[in-house]
């Protein structure tokens, strides 16, 4: 379990960093609103997250992509909807806060739920 948590944190951190930096870039460079940029950040992070968790965190290579990809997408989508809802709420509730601080808090809160649902359902049958 410790090894699995280590990999989850490592892969999750890479995905969260992809998400976080993507949002900042799309807001800064393209002038998108933080909530719209958050959708693009989710999509970019999904690829990093799925491949990393399948390969290392849950060692689920013996389980088919046909099983793991749709399940993990549902987990990730539910996590993103929670992410987007909390992010919108925080932006509205505390408009003076930097959106980057709100996003960082949301990403950390949602990560724990993603781990549990990924471990128990999306990558069930994995080796770790």
In order along its 128 residues, the chain shows pLDDT tens digits of: 788 889 989 999 999 899 999 999 999 999 999 999 989 999 999 999 999 988 888 887 788 889 889 999 999 899 989 989 999 999 999 999 999 999 889 988 888 888 888 888 888 766 55
37 contacts 91 by C-beta, under 8 angstroms? no
Q: Taking the CA atoms of the chain, what radius of gyration do you get in angstroms?
A: 15
Task: Tell me what pLDDT residue 109 has.
Answer: 85
First to last CA, the chain: 7
Extract the tokens encoding 86.
């909390």
Residue 126 phi/psi, 5-degree rounding, is: -70, 170
The pTM (predicted TM-score) of the whole model is 0.77
Report the pLDDT value the prediction gives residue 16, as an integer from 0 to 100: 87
Residue 25 CA to residue 125 CA, distance in Å, equals 37
**Alpha-carbon span 34 to 36, nearest angstrom:** 6
For residue 57, what pLDDT is reported? 86
Structure tokens at 128: 């770790």
Q: Which parts of 31-98 fold into alpha helices (H)?
A: 34-52, 65-93
Task: Give the per-residue pLDDT at 128.
Answer: 54
The pLDDT, as a whole number, for residue 69 is: 92
pLDDT of residue 123: 84
């Amino acid at each position: 379990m410790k090894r699995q948590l280590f990999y989850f944190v490592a892969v999750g951190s890479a995905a969260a960093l992809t998400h976080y930096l993507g949002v900042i870039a799309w807001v800064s460079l393209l002038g998108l609103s933080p909530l719209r940029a958050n959708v693009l950040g989710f999509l970019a992070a999904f690829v990093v997250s799925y491949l990393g968790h399948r390969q290392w965190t849950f060692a689920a290579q013996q389980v088919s992509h046909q099983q793991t990809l749709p399940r993990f997408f549902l987990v990730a989508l539910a996590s993103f909807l929670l992410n987007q809802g909390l992010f919108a709420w925080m932006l509205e509730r505390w408009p003076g806060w930097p959106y980057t601080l709100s996003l960082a808090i949301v990403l950390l809160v949602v990560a724990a739920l993603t781990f549990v649902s990924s471990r128990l359902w999306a990558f069930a049958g994995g080796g770790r």
